[in-house]
Amino acid sequence: MNLYLMCGLAFSGKSTVAGVIRRLRGAVVISLDELNAARGLHGGLGIQEEEWVRSHREATASVEEALRAGRDVVVDDTNCFRFLRDEYRALAAGFGAEVLILYLPAPPDLVLRRARGNDSEPSRHPVTEPVLLDLIRKFEPPAVDEPVLVVPPDCDEEWVARHIAPAAPKGKER
């Protein structure tokens, strides 16, 4: 049983990789964007801190439910703070689940370009430039002591199959 934590800026490709893991491993995907949207909120437009806390609690409860059922889980979020990743790892440890952070280190200029492209041809909810710049400023990349697999830009399904599915994560890789 595995817990995959997507980690990266908006427009880095996290949801795409999460969808591939869902298809290849049958994993449950917990999307913070979807949790927020169900409540009429859109993170790319800015959300009050107390609403993010509520979303995180909902996500944590969903992760716990899936792990209790013995399912692989993907948390599709920026996971931009170390304390969030630590909380998920502690939760997974209680179920004996392996944890792997899938870090998509897209450079800021790329995500800004993708966000602007999404403004002209929407493929997802928008992320305003001030919100994206704030995320870029606050983002805490995974540290060397975290179980990380760096996902290359524009990786394909074959790469995910080779590095993530069907094999379970076996420790730290950088």
* Confidence grade of residue 72 (pLDDT, cut at 50, 70, 90): very high
Q: How far apart are CA 88 and CA 50, in angstroms?
A: 19
> What average pLDDT does the segment 90-98 reach?
96
Asked if 148 and 172 touch (Cβ cutoff 8 Å), the reply is yes
pLDDT for 29: 97
C-beta neighbour count of 48 within 10 angstroms: 9
* Confidence grade of residue 12 (pLDDT, cut at 50, 70, 90): confident
Is the alpha carbon torsion for 149, 151, 156, 159 positive or negative?
negative
3-state secondary structure 9-76: CCCCCHHHHHHHHHHHHCCEEEEHHHHHHHCCCCHHHCCCHHHHHHHHHHHHHHHHHHHHCCCCEEEE
Asked if 9 and 136 touch (Cβ cutoff 8 Å), the reply is yes
Q: How far apart are CA 28 and CA 2, in angstroms?
A: 10
Domain ranges within the chain, ordered by starting residue: 2-163
* Confidence grade of residue 7 (pLDDT, cut at 50, 70, 90): very high
> What average pLDDT does the segment 12-31 reach?
92
Q: How far apart are CA 160 and CA 12, in angstroms?
A: 15
Query: What CA–CA distances, in Å, run from 101 to 38, 51, 157?
Result: 26, 24, 18
Considering the domain delimited by 2-163, tell me its CATH architecture.
3-Layer(aba) Sandwich (3.40)
- Phi first, then psi, for residue 145 (nearest 5°) are -90, 0
